Structure 1
Amino acid sequence: MYVARAEWEEHYSDGKGFRRLGDKERRLLSEHVPAPGDGGRALEVGCGTGDLSVFLTSLGYGVDAVDYADSAIARARERHPDADRVRWICGDVERDDPVDLHPGGYDLVVLRLVVPFLTDRTSVLRGLGERLRPGGAVVVITPVAAHTPPERRGIALDEDEIRVLAGPWEQADRFDADQLAVLVLRGACPTGTGATAADRQRPGGR
């Protein structure tokens, strides 16, 4: 579901936002993707007004928070004036080259309520996977079509779309948080192998 940048600018300029970060999402992130013992670096793609990025700092991360709406970044800065472990970045991870991302890579990349709006989901996730440090994870949090009204279908993924996202990863764990799917993806395949998690579970798979 493509939405033009101007529409996102208007959305945040008008004071609108999205579903607030829930307690179950916080618990799942705390349990499954805590920061490494010596701290870590996280990237949030589509940070909006920044609540998730600030929460990630409580887990021990320094965070690069990216959104392509200037109005979203402005509201995030205003909402979290003391978030000194968050670096707010205006840019489009899918289209802008280069976005000012951390050259040393990331221990965690999170896309919350973002993936349905990407034009090329597979390519974006593959590129983000290439930025992971060893042992790192990509977390996708998304509405599920089965729990979404038909008129809002564009903001959600169905089960087939979720399986496609999970397929290229060595480990893909799924959890549920108040009718949101939470995918924790680790070990992206090298580009072009075509192998899937299911392939690697079969005899002879990796």
Structure 2
Amino acid sequence: MTALQLNTSADWDQFNLAQRGRSVSPTEMTAFRTKVHVAEGDRVLDIGCGNGMWTRELAKLGLNVTGYDWGEGTVQRARSYPTLFARPTFAVWDVSQDPPADIEPGTIDLITFRYSLATMDPAKVLPICAAMLAPAGQVYVLTDVEHQNIERTGIFYPAMRMEEIEGLQAIGAGWGNVDSWSLGLRRAVVLSGYGM
């Protein structure tokens, strides 16, 4: 078994052009809608959006969502998918760098990392994101769990170890509220109350 080596934006573009993305199951969406508190019109950032499948699901909920990825080809592909619902915005951004100029601190209601945080340095990325969150803002993370990948064969998505997932709460100034649940071989986490 081999974890994907996705170290550059060109690697991501090649990867995202070769696959359709991971579908959103009814179980995942039900858990998300139960555990994550959002309202129509809330401003949402989907970090590491890939082909935009999750971004479009969020837009279906009436959220004002922008999907970010660091590969131009990936973002172009996300923009090209047809949708019957409100079309989300897609843009290029390397989240380890300063936020785009149109994102004011304290204005984002939700930031999602669906299968993407495992490819980043959470200690660098989460404090950057925390500065963008509104006072009641939340971060949603969905990741494969590394030790559970032993059941897989071939090439698989990058994953996080349980210790890393459990350690998210203490990153930066710390998160006052954490909710975590299992979705089969994956783990979902909602962080809120940064610095409390």
TM-score scaled to structure 1, two decimals?
0.80
Identify unmatched segments of 5+ residues in structure 1. Answer: 191-206
Match of 1:123 in 2: 124
SS in 1 for 2:111: strand
Tell me if structure 2 keeps the 8 A contact 1:64–1:101: no
Supply the distance in 2 between the matched residues of 1:9 and 1:152 (Cα, whole angstroms): 17
Tell me if structure 2 keeps the 8 A contact 1:92–1:99: no
Tell me if structure 1 keeps the 8 A contact 2:21–2:53: no
**2:161 aligned residue (148, 158, 178):** 158
Supply the distance in 1 between the matched residues of 2:25 and 2:43 (Cα, whole angstroms): 22
Tell me if structure 2 keeps the 8 A contact 1:34–1:59: no
Superposed CA offset, 1:90-116 (max 9, x none): 121113x44355326211100011111
Match of 2:115 in 1: 113
**1:29 aligned residue (28, 32, 44):** 32
Shift of 1:44: 0.2
SS in 1 for 2:76: helix
Match of 2:13 in 1: 9
Identify unmatched segments of 5+ residues in structure 2. Answer: none
Higher relative contact order (CA 8 A, sep 6+): 2
Match of 2:176 in 1: 170
Alpha carbons of 1:9 and 1:182: their partners in 2 closer, same or farther (altered >3 Å)?
same
Supply the distance in 2 between the matched residues of 1:11 and 1:178 (Cα, whole angstroms): 24
Q: Structure 2 matches for 1:28-177, cutoff 5 A?
A: 28-36=31-39, 39-80=41-82, 84-95=86-97, 97-103=98-104, 105-118=107-120, 120-149=121-150, 155-167=158-170, 168-177=174-183
Match of 1:199 in 2: none
SS in 2 for 1:155: coil
Amino acid at match of 1:90: V
Alpha carbons of 1:85 and 1:19: their partners in 2 closer, same or farther (altered >3 Å)?
closer
Tell me if structure 2 keeps the 8 A contact 1:89–1:100: no
Which structure has the greater CA radius of gyration?
1
| Number of residue pairs matched by the alignment | 186
Shift of 1:81: 5.2
Q: Is 104-113 or 143-152 further displaced after alignment?
A: 143-152
What is the percent sequence identity of the aligned residues?
26
Shift of 1:60: 2.5
Amino acid at match of 2:136: G
